Structure 1
Amino acid sequence: MTVRRLTQTVRELKPFNQTEARSALSALKEMGAREAAIAAVLAEGGPLKDFLVGALSLSPYLKDIAAIRPQLLARALEEALEPQLEAALADARDCWQPRMDGVTPTEAEVMTALRDAKRQVSFLLALADLSGLLHARETTQWLTKLADAAVAAAMDHLLLASHHAGKLRLADPARPSDASGLIVLGMGKLGAGELNYSSDIDIVVFFDPDSGILPDPAEATEVYGRMMRRLIRILQERTGDGYVFRTDLRLRPDPGSTPLAVPVEAALIYYEGRGQNWERAAYIKARPMAGDLKAGEAFLREITPFVFRKYLDYAAIADIHSIKRQIHAHKGHGVIAVKGHDVKLGRGGIREIEFFAQTQQLIAGGRVPAIRERRTEAALAALAQSRWITPEIAAELTEAYWFLRDVEHRIQMVRDEQSHRLPETEAELKRIAYMLGFADTATFSARLEDVLRRVERRYARLFEQEAKLSAGEGNLVFTGQNDDPETLVTLSKLGFERPADMSRVIRTWHYGRYRATQSVEARERLTELMPELLSAFGASKRADEALLRFDGFLKALPAGIQLFSLLGNNPGLLSLLVMIMAAAPRLADIIAARPHVFDGMLDPGLMQEMPTRHYLSERLTTFLGGARHYEEVLDRLRIFTAEQRFLIGIRLLTGTISGVQAGRAFTDLADLVIEQALAAVLGEMAQAHGTYPGGRVAVLGMGKLGSYELTAGSDVDLILLYDYPEAVQESDGAKPLDAMRYFTRVTQRLIAALSAPTAEGIVFEVDLRLRPSGNKGPVATRINAFRRYQEEEAWTWEHMALTRARLVCGDESLMAEAGQVIADVLTRPRDRQKTAADVSDMRALIEQEKPPRDLWDFKLIPGGLIDIEFIAQYLRLVAPSGAAGQGDEAAVSMRGTEAALRRNAGGRLSPDDLETCVTALRLYTELSQIIRLCVEGAFDPKDAPAGLIERLCTAGDAPSLKLIEAEVKRLSKSVRSILQACLSQRSSPAAEE
């Protein structure tokens, strides 16, 4: 080993200024009063004295250390450099070991010993580096050795302490790390042996839970997690003695969701399935440096295929370059300017040289093992030797690398700060220039600019294209762990209010934490989509919410590559998906919870096919085909209903169908599903209890189901009717039931089939409150009881409800019989004034008990949907006897409120009043269908997504919601007047007939 002394020839250093020079000399004289070696140098004078004055004037940090510990400076002057460094490293490495008296050092003692070693090594290296005794290459190696010793000693201390505490059973307490299965890898500059003067250290910790040292392997994560927290404290907590190294564990797999120490098996699975190119680049420099070194080497052998692929991986270039673009996006890194320039991350800086080497190592390392070098200088030499680059390029970049490392060290030596940025002021820049031996800042600046531009040119030739958003409008970089500031600016310009939060969400996708983004191919497709996707989200009023809904959708997707490929090749489908996320929170929640409903959107004929009853029936028949069991049929019904209801909603959202058409489609879907559910229930009942000889069942739809006006969020109002021959007392199965129990059970099973929640959700919420006697009556009603109740006991409001009744499915003869009952009830003569009073009282009661929330509560506002429905129902009840025709199907159901108004308005509503009611009905229906589709609960225009507001304006044929509100106010006022006038009529020609 070469033995070098500070008293040898030293580089001339100009002092910072005369004031600082006098202060440094004064400090040296005070030290000389305590240390003879320092006094001797001052007395002798000459280059060494000038060097010390210059060094301490330029570095306040060195001056402070020397003043506090003058013996360090005295020893540096008296003894050879290398033996001092070796001794300090040995003291650090062995500080955990029991003393001669057998007492194990405490954690506080270990911390003090490590800080003493750090202080001594840092001081010696700074003086040797500034004097020219050491090259930057040697400085970085000594700093790395110090980090190795400190981390290894801390690990041994922690393992031994856990052994003594009974948490572990070490194989050999004298060598705690051996065979422990606890792996500490040095990453980045630590792994490469290239630490800078005030560097953080990047480490990754893995453990083998089956190494045999844990009494209970299941507690490994907790035990090692606590140990890592203590390790961080030992190394980086600032005490009266300073700190050792700031320690960063964020290079571990998926740091946002993994413990500080990761099981080896979990890490291997992660890197095999979800590892990213930037992680491959990081592992080029990875090195076992503490803990179980043999296990660490074995781990690196395991992940070699991940880091160095067998084929030439040119695809890695774009990803690695995105990391560099991410770095360049930071303020002050984008241009070459000496003042304020970041020599590590800025253009032409250290990171570009490292990436220049690492990218080519990733491309060819699988085929050319000789280039798998950790150190940058060695990697450049290996690339030249393997003819991937010319020797001239290797030499040029190597020279530039060490010059920039020298600059970096001087920046950090000033005040021991982890900084890579040159000062902004001329005075402070002069300090750096003098520390490097330059006569002035101009000479230094010229040399630095030349180096930076040479590096930039070499780097630019390797990376010729940069991925930009919309031909140069901004960066969209989501590689790595930290936010790219320029990308945050881009996101903000696109319309995102919390760009940092959104960036973190998007990086989650790139980490492959979701099943949909776990494959490399899926992430690549998603990356290609990103500019269009984010631009579309940004165009919405609430871009953040839209993106978060999309995140929920991705989280639930079982796989993503097919979807991402389709979106990439189908701009219309991408626009539709973004519209859902931006305009329809309710639909977005549905596809996030049940992504299979999105499958139907992949049908290229979706928008061309109208959701008619025939269309839905054919698809339901096909979907149920092959279902063998009752539960399977019900699950398929749930899946089909959710998907088709979603697809009807998509057509409504895009304007392919109107609100009235949507109501009809939702109702046709309900009819078909209820019919199939009833058939399945009757089949199941037959198996359990037999059939009921001569028994008949029919389902009567009420409310919006009866009038073909269901919305996306409607429940279904049902009455189950039945009948049977009086002579039959029970069903014919092995477990017979009497009629009441049999048909009650049919009803209960039908309700459960439709509304019981399962893994596939529910079909519909079912409401039976409109049956005879309401909640007090039996759930199933025999036809004669239904007739008797309607003719003798029903209130006016129940007959109003009956005007919307419609037979949905069941036995045809019973359906015809029930239809005749309804027709008879509705066409019988009734007291018009009493009916009008009852209707008026009913409306007043509703208004008292359920006041409208606001103007957008179209159902309950005065002059809203209830008023229009009451007008139609009232007109139907007081229509001349037989006007609709006995047995006429229209007498049984008005086929929608508009049809009922037009059919029964003659003589009681003027043509203008009729058209006012129809106009209001259509507007309310259109708006409420869209709102119920898009949002859950109350609609608040202030919080509504921009996409929804735009859709409502289109539906209302108005440029703004304010104009729609004005039209609603106008129409509702008119409708309320029409209702009041209608109910207050004393007589009319039609009424007298």
Structure 2
Amino acid sequence: MSGDGGEARPRVELKPLDRSNADRLLRELVEAAEAKEAVVAAMLGKRPDLARWLAAVFDLSPHLFNTARKQPAVLRAWLDGTADARLDQLENLALQVAFQPDASEASVMRELRQLKAESQFLVALRDLSGEADAEETVRRLSLFAEAAVSGAVDFLLRDAHRQNKLKLPDPDKPSEGSGLIVLGMGKLGGHELNFSSDIDLIVFFEPHAPAVPDPYEAADVFARITRRLVRILQDRTEHGYVFRTDLRLRPDPGSTPLAIPVEAALIYYEGRGQNWERAAMIKARPVAGDRAAGQRFLNELRPYVWRKHLDYAAIADVHSIKRQIHAHRGLGAIAVEGHNVKLGRGGIREIEFFVQTQQLIAGGRFPELRGKQTVPMLHELAARGWITPGAAEALAHDYWFLRRVEHAIQMVADEQSHSLPEDDAGVERIAHMLGFGSRDTFAERFQRTLGEVEHHYAELFETAPELSSGIGNLVFTGEGDDPDTLQTLSSLGFKRPGDIARIVRTWHFGRYKAVQSAEARERLTELTPALLRAFGATGRADETAVAFDAFLAGLPAGIQLFSLLQSNQSLLQLLVTTLSAAPRLAGIITRRPHVFDAMLDPALLNELPDRAYLAERLDAFMSGVRSHEEKLDRLRIFTAEQKFLIGMRLLAGVIDARRAGEHFSDLADLVIAFALDAVTDEFALRHGCVARGRVALLGMGKLGSRELTAGSDIDLILLYDHDHEALESDGAKGLAPAHYYARLTQRLIAALSAPTAEGVLYEIDLRLRPSGNKGPVAVPIDAFSRYQRSEAWTWEHMALTRARPVAGDASLCAQLDAEVVAIVASPRDTKKVRKDAAEMRRILLEEKPPRDLWDIKLAAGGLVDLEFIAQVGKLVGEATGEGRVSSTGLALSRLSPEFAPVDVREQLAEAFAFYNTLSQLTRLCLTEPLDPKDVPVGLMERLLGATHSPDRNHLEARLKETQQAVARHFRALIG
């Protein structure tokens, strides 16, 4: 067919799949033409050769047949040889829709749909006939799309002018000075649209443009115009649609309006823009609205897109635009049926990516490499020596062939599909549309093309190891999900891959402080495959990714951490283990990410947090703090950080359970002492002091035995002494001594346990004081002594075996310690002590039965049994060795042979160490009691490692056997 009015002469012979169906469709068309467009019917009758060729087209493409049957007039320009001129006319008509008399949104929508249908139909016939090559086809499709967008925008601008929302300088040239910038992206920007393509647009505006009467209302006005533009273009009516329209390439589409101020956009791109967005901007061009303003914007953006110097991290991130490039070599044949021509191996995207990565890397220095079209840039790359002329020629040839295949797929039913049909018959249809005689001849050419593209693609990227995570496709660019990436995430163990992909895209959009800089995002991009692999290995991949996301959201900065995690596999594993195995610790670092800062110290895991180390750190941390409230807040921060770090050392295996208990207890001692001093000083400002007043805090329970866990409460008794002649304190608001120390104790409890923005220091329990909750909260030391010597129950003396002074006046602490030792050493009725202890254990089992085997504390034969054995042994004088012992483990190891034979004593001490290990780790990691049906994989692995157990079954069997043995020894030793 010629474009100058000559007759149509198809250069490509097409063969229908079903000749009889083709003939039937032709008859139906002729009947429709006779009824609606007699001239077309007559033309078909005069040219049987053309009619037969059209019959083949209609058999192969139901979409083209339906268009011709509904509007036979669309055939006229093709039949009389004026299709090329008619296409020019259709573009001009689209540009002029805004200027029709009485133009309305409905009329614009109708006219653009009718023009699009005819234009698309003529482009298809010229393509199938061979009159237009693939390059001309994509150009024509793009020109009409640009005209349609421009015409719709002009209408909307004129309509806003009529409503006084805008004041256009010249309504006959509505776009000029309007301040509305519509950029065509992707294939529209590059004049490379496919037959059923979406169009990608980004809309910006200049708030101070001549047409904008009120800059403060501009955002709302232009957002409304953009929303209407999308409706005009993509809403389906009885006339079809114009173009599906995608606005998701705009900056941070999840949280930005449809139209964005130019200044805000520039700030985003320069501060938070990602390399895939730089790649997208290669093809950007103004297609509608104020084109001069659009070009000014692109000029401003040029340094962002085209960097003079690109560091290696940025290059790696450029590569990560399609993270796994599938540099396949010898990995089997490429399928034909179902193959995705755009995204599949050897497909169109690989050629485009091949070009764009080289453009981003070299375009900053060589302006000639900044073109928007794929094939011209292939030849420019060859001219500059970036690729060989042979590669450029081959890829250009392959590109246009694959574009023709893509068009044929979409011409069948006007669907935005890029995949060949799944069946032989469907592929046969595509083969015929492209002029091949059979499915096999097409398949041979198709596979050869894909193989050639794949070869050049692999050669380009085979020296880029950053691209391959070894686990599959990981593409998190743009706004949509990459199907291969979702499959990779599923294979890694993620149950909700779509949610995880969305989370990772959030990182790339720089919505968190830690990833707002380009360098931070590039580092995180490089780290992402290792992170995802590590998350998947936990067995709780989704929960771990969500926990890491929460951690990331709170980080003030990220570059240092990401770099360290990338270079330090053990630290990465420790972080992931914490997030997956230790919900308690994960909660701390997500609420207070600053506690993780200390983990960045490479010497951390080599330092033991003993009392001297912690005291030094506390002094340094509290130096310069003056106000009481600031002291307490700083103390909470310090305590949370140090508890976390002790826990991390335990989790990493740097310290064992015994040392962890000692370190947690040393920390508590120091913090309680500091809090007591702070509260005492503050209290004295108002109430003064009691003459010769002294205070001592007696640590009970696990604090007293130096066996605290990460989640332990603190058992305390506050004891005091003073001049017995003193009637009240000497402050402005004096208080009687008993009232004074009771109020002081309440202030101390509030300081330690009141919840604040910085959390709680410790939960405090005072129930072990004389008379329990019925007695005063502060106890005179002489009253304490009298009570313990004459009124205390056996269980209270048992509790006293673990007591030790932890803070307060040194002389009173020494007096108290001597008194505790004396009380514990007092002679007792051994039978009564054993009987009372056995009865107490029985009551405890009835009132607090164990949940299951893993209730290590309360289970029969559990920790309580061991504590009772140790306490009874000390009370009845059956302990050996010198010096005072409050530790349960040490007390068990010192039981006399008369009380417990050597082998029994060793078994008890070993059982305590075993229980202590399990207890320390589970209390460290979990906020709720351990559920044996839902133990985090990372925690179970740590429990197995710490107890030298080969597997879970072995660990549970050992736990059960240990409990049975301890229960047996308890009956033998206590009764």
User: If the length of structure 1 is used for normalisation, what is the TM-score?
Assistant: 0.88
Inter-partner Cα distance in structure 2 for 1:473 and 1:580: 23
Q: Which residue of 2 aligns with 1:918?
A: 909
Alignment partner of 1:48 is 2:50: yes
Partner SS state of residue 698, structure 1: strand
What is the letter of the counterpart of residue 954 of structure 2? L
Q: Would the aligned equivalents of 1:469 and 1:476 in 2 still touch at CA under 8 Å?
A: no
**Closer, same or farther in 2 for the Cα pair 1:844/1:118, shift >3 Å?**
same
Inter-partner Cα distance in structure 1 for 2:903 and 2:797: 27
CA offsets 1:209-243 (integer angstroms, 9 cap, x no match): 66698899778777766665554443333332222
Alignment partner of 1:578 is 2:576: yes
Q: Which residue of 2 aligns with 1:987?
A: none
Structure 1 residue 733 displacement after superposition: 4.6
Alignment partner of 1:618 is 2:619: no
Q: Which residue of 2 aligns with 1:18?
A: 19
Inter-partner Cα distance in structure 2 for 1:421 and 1:902: 74
- Summarize the alignment of residues 72-221 of structure 1 with structure 2, pairs less than 5 Å apart: 72-74=74-76, 76-77=78-79, 80-82=82-84, 84-95=86-97, 99-100=101-102, 105=104, 107-155=105-153, 179-207=177-205
CA offsets 1:525-559 (integer angstroms, 9 cap, x no match): 34444454444444333344334333333332222
Partner SS state of residue 721, structure 1: strand
Partner SS state of residue 309, structure 1: coil
What is the letter of the counterpart of residue 57 of structure 2? A
Alignment partner of 1:952 is 2:943: yes
Structure 1 residue 925 displacement after superposition: 1.3
Aligned match for 1:939, one of 915, 919, 930: 930
CA offsets 1:699-737 (integer angstroms, 9 cap, x no match): 111111111111111121112222222344444455555
Inter-partner Cα distance in structure 2 for 1:116 and 1:533: 51
Structure 1 residue 25 displacement after superposition: 2.8
Inter-partner Cα distance in structure 1 for 2:312 and 2:894: 73
Q: Would the aligned equivalents of 1:583 and 1:946 in 2 still touch at CA under 8 Å?
A: yes
Q: Which residue of 2 aligns with 1:637?
A: 635
Structure 1 residue 837 displacement after superposition: 5.2
Unaligned runs of 5+ in 2: none
RMSD: 3.8
Q: Would the aligned equivalents of 2:320 and 2:525 in 1 still touch at CA under 8 Å?
A: no
Inter-partner Cα distance in structure 1 for 2:467 and 2:186: 30
Q: Would the aligned equivalents of 2:189 and 2:283 in 1 still touch at CA under 8 Å?
A: yes
Inter-partner Cα distance in structure 2 for 1:268 and 1:393: 37
What is the letter of the counterpart of residue 15 of structure 2? P
Q: Would the aligned equivalents of 1:235 and 1:246 in 2 still touch at CA under 8 Å?
A: yes
**Closer, same or farther in 2 for the Cα pair 1:32/1:899, shift >3 Å?**
closer
**Closer, same or farther in 2 for the Cα pair 1:924/1:472, shift >3 Å?**
closer
Structure 1 residue 669 displacement after superposition: 1.3
- Summarize the alignment of residues 497-512 of structure 1 with structure 2, pairs less than 5 Å apart: 497-512=495-510
Structure 1 residue 785 displacement after superposition: 3.6
Inter-partner Cα distance in structure 2 for 1:964 and 1:358: 56
Partner SS state of residue 709, structure 1: coil
Partner SS state of residue 303, structure 1: helix
Q: Which residue of 1 aligns with 2:62?
A: 60
Q: Which residue of 2 aligns with 1:364?
A: 362
Inter-partner Cα distance in structure 2 for 1:132 and 1:594: 66
CA offsets 1:578-598 (integer angstroms, 9 cap, x no match): 332343232233223223333
Aligned match for 1:415, one of 410, 413, 416: 413
Aligned match for 2:963, one of 972, 976, 992: 972
**Closer, same or farther in 2 for the Cα pair 1:538/1:387, shift >3 Å?**
closer
Partner SS state of residue 851, structure 2: coil
- Summarize the alignment of residues 676-715 of structure 1 with structure 2, pairs less than 5 Å apart: 676-715=674-713
Structure 1 residue 953 displacement after superposition: 2.3
**Closer, same or farther in 2 for the Cα pair 1:431/1:171, shift >3 Å?**
same
Q: Which moved more, 1:605-614 or 1:224-233?
A: 224-233
**Closer, same or farther in 2 for the Cα pair 1:773/1:315, shift >3 Å?**
closer
Partner SS state of residue 465, structure 2: coil
CA offsets 1:390-428 (integer angstroms, 9 cap, x no match): 777656554544343333323322221222334455554
- Summarize the alignment of residues 244-393 of structure 1 with structure 2, pairs less than 5 Å apart: 244-311=242-309, 318-324=316-322, 326=324, 336=334, 340-380=338-378, 382-383=380-381
Q: Which residue of 2 aligns with 1:7?
A: 7
Structure 1 residue 247 displacement after superposition: 1.8
Inter-partner Cα distance in structure 1 for 2:217 and 2:771: 62
Q: Which residue of 2 aligns with 1:963?
A: 954
**Closer, same or farther in 2 for the Cα pair 1:172/1:129, shift >3 Å?**
same
Percent identical: 57
Structure 1 residue 305 displacement after superposition: 1.2
Inter-partner Cα distance in structure 2 for 1:174 and 1:733: 87
Inter-partner Cα distance in structure 2 for 1:865 and 1:911: 20
Q: Which moved more, 1:526-535 or 1:844-853?
A: 526-535
Inter-partner Cα distance in structure 1 for 2:798 and 2:441: 97
**Closer, same or farther in 2 for the Cα pair 1:904/1:169, shift >3 Å?**
farther
Q: How many residues align?
A: 971
Q: Would the aligned equivalents of 2:58 and 2:64 in 1 still touch at CA under 8 Å?
A: yes
Q: Would the aligned equivalents of 1:469 and 1:531 in 2 still touch at CA under 8 Å?
A: no
**Closer, same or farther in 2 for the Cα pair 1:405/1:980, shift >3 Å?**
closer
Alignment partner of 1:36 is 2:38: yes
Inter-partner Cα distance in structure 2 for 1:884 and 1:816: 23
Aligned match for 2:887, one of 889, 896, 905: 896
Q: Which moved more, 1:111-120 or 1:492-501?
A: 492-501
Inter-partner Cα distance in structure 2 for 1:923 and 1:312: 56
- Summarize the alignment of residues 577-616 of structure 1 with structure 2, pairs less than 5 Å apart: 577-616=575-614
**Closer, same or farther in 2 for the Cα pair 1:221/1:715, shift >3 Å?**
farther
CA offsets 1:835-879 (integer angstroms, 9 cap, x no match): 555444433443333222211111111222222223333444444
Inter-partner Cα distance in structure 1 for 2:802 and 2:280: 70
CA offsets 1:188-212 (integer angstroms, 9 cap, x no match): 0111222111111111233456669
**Closer, same or farther in 2 for the Cα pair 1:570/1:433, shift >3 Å?**
closer
Q: Would the aligned equivalents of 1:6 and 1:133 in 2 still touch at CA under 8 Å?
A: no
Aligned match for 2:645, one of 644, 647, 650: 647
**Closer, same or farther in 2 for the Cα pair 1:456/1:980, shift >3 Å?**
closer
CA offsets 1:747-776 (integer angstroms, 9 cap, x no match): 233223322334433322222232334334
Q: Would the aligned equivalents of 2:469 and 2:530 in 1 still touch at CA under 8 Å?
A: no
Partner SS state of residue 33, structure 1: helix
Inter-partner Cα distance in structure 2 for 1:459 and 1:978: 72
**Closer, same or farther in 2 for the Cα pair 1:754/1:446, shift >3 Å?**
same
Q: Which residue of 1 aligns with 2:752?
A: 754
**Closer, same or farther in 2 for the Cα pair 1:399/1:871, shift >3 Å?**
closer
Inter-partner Cα distance in structure 1 for 2:81 and 2:908: 104
Inter-partner Cα distance in structure 2 for 1:567 and 1:326: 21
**Closer, same or farther in 2 for the Cα pair 1:321/1:521, shift >3 Å?**
closer
Inter-partner Cα distance in structure 1 for 2:823 and 2:880: 12
What is the letter of the counterpart of residue 85 of structure 1? L
CA offsets 1:486-506 (integer angstroms, 9 cap, x no match): 555555555545555444433
Q: Which moved more, 1:184-193 or 1:870-879?
A: 870-879
Q: Which moved more, 1:136-145 or 1:531-540?
A: 531-540
Partner SS state of residue 200, structure 2: strand
User: If the length of structure 2 is used for normalisation, what is the TM-score?
Assistant: 0.89
Inter-partner Cα distance in structure 2 for 1:333 and 1:298: 48
Inter-partner Cα distance in structure 2 for 1:507 and 1:54: 46
Inter-partner Cα distance in structure 1 for 2:601 and 2:146: 60
**Closer, same or farther in 2 for the Cα pair 1:19/1:938, shift >3 Å?**
same
Structure 1 residue 910 displacement after superposition: 4.6
Q: Would the aligned equivalents of 1:384 and 1:394 in 2 still touch at CA under 8 Å?
A: yes
Q: Would the aligned equivalents of 2:322 and 2:474 in 1 still touch at CA under 8 Å?
A: no
Inter-partner Cα distance in structure 1 for 2:441 and 2:962: 82
Q: Which moved more, 1:506-515 or 1:922-931?
A: 506-515
Partner SS state of residue 666, structure 1: helix
